[in-house]
Amino acid sequence: MCLKLFLMTRNEIELIEDWLKYHGFLFGFENICILDGSDDQRVFDIYNKYKTFGLHVKISSTGLNGLAEELTLLMHEEKGLNNFLIKLDTDEFLAYTLPATLGDEIIQGNSFLNKFLSVSNFSEFFETLPITGQRYQASFMTWSIPKHSYVDNPAIELIEFTPIQLINFKVFFHSTSFLSVDLGAHVGESTNNMGYIHTGLSVIHFHSTSLSDSIRRARKVLISHDYIDTLDSIEIQYEKLSEIQARGAVNSFHKISLYLLHLNEVLGGESLRPEMLNFQHPWFRQSGPSSEMTLVRDTLNFIEQEGCFVK
């Protein structure tokens, strides 16, 4: 039994190498499959550094509206016979908590996530999960507290996080029961869709790193959805997105809300502040006090000090 990680990404130059080193160290690059839509050569240069360690990369030109189907096909191609399958985004880093800490105390703090992770830790963790055909749920998620100015290296520089209540859980699957995945891996389908298996899997989410980067990423997503065009004026973008927002729930609804706040500021309205970013997401419900969490940074520093991926 092992884990197969699937990453859907595009031009995430600030996070992609740290994401690869962190998860490659824990699970092996041979167990990482990337579906990439980048047009930034720097991203491909990073991939070339790690392909010698077994990294799998598939280039895609499909827009966001068709990526769920393409990702599902890729997961079926690479799933193997006895693997757990997890789809992540570039700003999501895996961690876990011990079964004894599950329950009410899981939302009281996130200090347990600072335990250094190893390959054997994760192997033991997944070996305890029952295989029933059901989907599995993450138990805990914590979001980074963004800064105002651009952050060059979020996985190293951001160490203040807020624990949140999980309204839409991250789900994952076993290869013997996997059927399909959605874009965010919040629902998906397995051979037994009756209920979920609650686990100790945790996600450290660098959801908002800075005000400027959040605006850039929102614009990128909205263009990929064909909600706006690269040549649209500010006024046309505002009109288009306001009409889409008025329809109610659509893909990337929170990105629309965030980008409209930015456009409103450009047009002379209220200033958009970093502390407003997380609250634009419909699933953000703070469940405890913010605190320092250095697990990702410490793991990356260890990898660097040990020269783990130097050939």
Cβ neighbours for 181, distance < 8 A, ≥ 6 positions apart: 6, 68, 71, 72, 75, 85, 87, 173, 188
Question: Partners of 179 in the beta sheet?
Answer: none
- Of the given ranges (94-108, 198-212, 287-301), which has the lowest mean pLDDT? 94-108
Q: Which structural domain range is residue 222 located in?
A: 211-280
pLDDT of 285 = 67
Q: Does residue 275 share a domain with residue 291?
A: no
The one-letter amino acid at 59 = I
Asked if residue 85 belongs to a domain, the reply is yes
Mean pLDDT value across residues 225-249: 93
| Long-range contacts of residues 62-68, Cβ cutoff 8 Å, at least 24 apart | 62/37, 63/224, 63/225, 63/226, 64/183, 64/221, 64/224, 64/225, 64/251, 64/252, 65/225, 65/226, 65/251, 67/8, 67/35, 67/37, 67/183, 68/180, 68/181, 68/182, 68/183
* 39-56 tens-digit pLDDT: 999 999 999 999 999 999
How many other C-beta atoms are found inside a 10 Å radius of the C-beta of residue 305?
8
Asked if residue 247 belongs to a domain, the reply is yes
Q: Does residue 11 share a domain with residue 83?
A: yes
Q: In the chain, which residue ranges form alpha helices assigned H by DSSP?
A: 16-27, 41-50, 64-78, 119-127, 154-157, 211-224, 234-246, 253-266, 295-306
Q: Does residue 183 share a domain with residue 69?
A: yes
Asked whether residue 1 carries a pLDDT value surpassing 90, the answer given is no
- 101 pLDDT band, cuts 50/70/90, is very low
pLDDT of 71 = 95
Check if the beta carbon of residue 56 is closer than 8 Å to that of residue 78: yes
Return the percentage of the chain with pLDDT > 70, whole number: 88
Q: Does residue 189 share a domain with residue 51?
A: yes
Check if the beta carbon of residue 186 is closer than 8 Å to that of residue 168: yes
* 119-147 tens-digit pLDDT: 557 777 888 899 999 999 987 788 888 88
Asked whether residue 99 carries a pLDDT value surpassing 70, the answer given is no
pLDDT of 98 = 54
pTM metric for this prediction: 0.82
Q: Does residue 202 share a domain with residue 94?
A: yes
Mean pLDDT value across residues 222-230: 93
pLDDT of 108 = 36
Asked if residue 299 belongs to a domain, the reply is yes
Q: Does residue 178 share a domain with residue 216?
A: no
pLDDT of 14 = 92
Asked if residue 311 belongs to a domain, the reply is no
pLDDT of 216 = 87
Tell me how many domains the chain contains.
2
Asked if residue 17 belongs to a domain, the reply is yes
pLDDT of 109 = 37
Check if the beta carbon of residue 32 is closer than 8 Å to that of residue 20: yes
pLDDT of 249 = 75
- 69 pLDDT band, cuts 50/70/90, is very high
pLDDT of 283 = 65
* 278-301 tens-digit pLDDT: 777 666 667 677 788 888 998 899
pLDDT of 110 = 39
Q: Does residue 269 share a domain with residue 161?
A: no
What H or E segment, with its residue span, contains residue 171?
strand 171-174
How many other C-beta atoms are found inside a 10 Å radius of the C-beta of residue 30?
13
N- to C-terminal Cα distance for the chain? 28
Q: Does residue 147 share a domain with residue 244?
A: no
The one-letter amino acid at 271 = S
C-alpha distances (whole Å) from 168 to each of 45, 152, 184, 217, 294 are 35, 29, 10, 21, 25
Asked whether residue 75 carries a pLDDT value surpassing 80, the answer given is yes
pLDDT of 97 = 65
pLDDT of 188 = 94
Average pLDDT, the chain: 86
Q: Does residue 189 share a domain with residue 251?
A: no
Check if the beta carbon of residue 296 is closer than 8 Å to that of residue 22: yes
Asked if residue 96 belongs to a domain, the reply is yes
* 253-266 tens-digit pLDDT: 888 989 999 999 99
Asked whether residue 157 carries a pLDDT value surpassing 80, the answer given is yes
Asked if residue 224 belongs to a domain, the reply is yes
Q: Does residue 43 share a domain with residue 8?
A: yes
C-alpha distances (whole Å) from 237 to each of 240, 246, 250, 262, 263 are 5, 14, 17, 11, 8
pLDDT of 111 = 39
Asked if residue 169 belongs to a domain, the reply is yes
Q: Does residue 86 share a domain with residue 178?
A: yes
pLDDT of 119 = 56
Mean pLDDT value across residues 110-126: 59
How many other C-beta atoms are found inside a 10 Å radius of the C-beta of residue 248?
7
Q: Does residue 126 share a domain with residue 261?
A: no
* 4-63 tens-digit pLDDT: 999 999 889 999 999 999 999 989 999 999 999 999 999 999 999 999 999 999 999 887
pLDDT of 252 = 84
